[in-house]
């Protein structure tokens, strides 16, 4: 059972603007230690951020051709954190986020129609 003081903690924990999130929590985006491959064969550096599709391109080419600064999503994310994604997204109202991951997720959700090949499949974003 969740006690009242626990709910207060969760509701009042540090919230902030996405514009303040200037560092990506994933510090290995430029030279990743691992990749993920989803059921649709999207090769992902970070969950739901694709760098290619293993059904269309061999893995050694996907990994060999990976250049973070040229990637429309990972480039701004690496350089400016989640706030970099805000800069390339459609203007959105200022909101509060539970942290940098929450900010990144909601901003990518706004961008999926513009970058469907880079943001994987919409099921990740609960569409």
Which tens digit of pLDDT belongs to each residue from 39-91?
889 999 988 899 999 999 999 999 999 999 999 999 999 998 888 888 888 66
Concatenated DSSP letters of the chain: ---HHHHHHHHHS--B-GGG--S-S-TTSSS-S--EE-TT-EEEEETTEEEEETTTS-HHHHHHT--GGGSTTHHHHHHHTHHHHHHHSPP-----BSSHHHHHHHHHHHHTTT-TTTS--GGGGT-
pTM of the model: 0.78
Counting residues of the chain whose pLDDT is more than 70, the rounded percentage is: 75
Q: 13 vs 100, which has greater pLDDT?
A: 100
Residue 121 has pLDDT above 80, yes or no: no
């Amino acid at each position: 059972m969740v006690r009242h003081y626990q709910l207060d903690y969760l509701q009042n924990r540090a919230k902030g603007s996405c514009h303040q999130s200037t560092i990506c929590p994933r510090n290995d985006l430029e030279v990743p230690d691992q990749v993920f491959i989803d059921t649709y064969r999207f090769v992902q550096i970070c969950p739901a951020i694709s760098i290619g599709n293993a059904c269309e391109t061999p893995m050694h080419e996907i990994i060999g051709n990976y250049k973070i600064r040229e990637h429309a999503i990972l480039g701004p994310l690496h350089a400016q954190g989640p706030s970099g994604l805000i800069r390339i997204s459609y203007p959105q109202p200022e909101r509060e986020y539970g942290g940098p991951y929450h900010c990144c997720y909601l901003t990518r959700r706004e961008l999926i129609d513009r970058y469907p090949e880079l943001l994987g499949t919409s099921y990740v974003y609960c569409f």
